């Protein structure tokens, strides 16, 4: 599809800090009853929030903040060692009422527009597959967007982000864990989640923070059951995605040597 934008400038941005390049995309839903209400808030100086782009349900792409500026979309966040996520990312809001106002599936034309935008951005930035993330991934204690209806598999098929490999199987040896448990298996789970990119402490205790991170992982990769409990399938998937990250790291190190 031909990429075009509707210019809808927001005053809510500042300069990007540091010398690290943009290397992350954070996806959100607007979580408001209408697109008009979301655009108004994202352009309200008093709200102090914004994004680089908003994509309406009909596929219209609004450009709010120039890509070379720091939009205010991530808030307090963490991903793969990065705390100032706004400084390193492009924020994209997808119009959707969200869980509060009637969460619904994202129309095909909306996702088509998102993929076209990501392809356009790929001509300007180098982003690792693991750096296409949800707001809930980078702020699991606070956020749940874009939620369990977002089609991450479609993005992966288009060349963006991670998804299961075709040979994925649930391990017969994968333990099931739940909140309140304290064990070595929980510690191994936390280490795997940390390897993927989540901000989590390796304590061996399945505390509320671990439960929130597991729930965020499920919203991204195990969307039919989002309960914060790491059953055998969730545990297997966490290991599977963590192994993908590790294999890419090893491959990059070999290429550099």
Catalytic residues: 93
Cα 11 off chain centre by: 24
Q: What angle do CA 50, 53, 55 make, to 5 degrees?
A: 120
Burial 220-242 (b: 16+ CB within 10 A, else e): bbbeeebebbbbebbbbbbbbbb
CB 190 within 8 A of CB 198: no
Structure tokens at 66: 């120039």
Find all residues with CB under 8 Å of 177, minimum gap 6, and list them. 183, 185, 186, 189, 206, 229, 230, 235
Of residues 196, 193, 199, 111, the one with CA closest to residue 149: 111
């Amino acid at each position: 599809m031909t990429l075009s934008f509707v210019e809808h400038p927001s005053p809510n941005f500042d300069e990007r800090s540091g010398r690290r390049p943009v290397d992350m995309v954070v996806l959100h839903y607007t979580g408001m009853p209408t697109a008009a209400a979301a655009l108004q808030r994202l352009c309200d100086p008093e709200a102090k929030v914004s994004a680089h782009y908003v994509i309406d349900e009909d596929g219209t792409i609004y450009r709010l903040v120039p890509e070379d500026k720091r939009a205010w979309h991530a808030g307090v966040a963490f991903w793969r060692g990065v705390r100032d996520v706004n400084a390193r990312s492009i924020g994209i809001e997808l119009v959707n009422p969200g869980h509060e106002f009637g969460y619904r599936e994202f129309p095909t034309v909306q996702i088509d527009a998102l993929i076209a935008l990501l392809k356009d951005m790929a001509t300007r930035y180098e982003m690792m597959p693991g750096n296409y993330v949800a707001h809930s991934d980078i702020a699991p204690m606070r956020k749940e967007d874009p939620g369990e209806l977002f089609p991450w598999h479609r993005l992966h098929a288009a060349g963006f982000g991670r998804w299961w490999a075709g040979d994925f199987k649930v391990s017969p040896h994968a333990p099931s864990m739940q909140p309140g448990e304290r064990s070595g298996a929980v510690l191994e789970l936390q280490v795997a989640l940390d390897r993927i990119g989540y901000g989590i402490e390796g304590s061996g205790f399945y505390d509320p923070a671990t439960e929130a991170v597991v729930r965020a992982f499920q919203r991204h990769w195990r969307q039919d059951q989002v309960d914060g409990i790491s059953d055998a399938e969730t545990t297997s998937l966490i290991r599977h995605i963590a192994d993908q990250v590790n294999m890419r790291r090893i491959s990059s190190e070999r290429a550099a040597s």
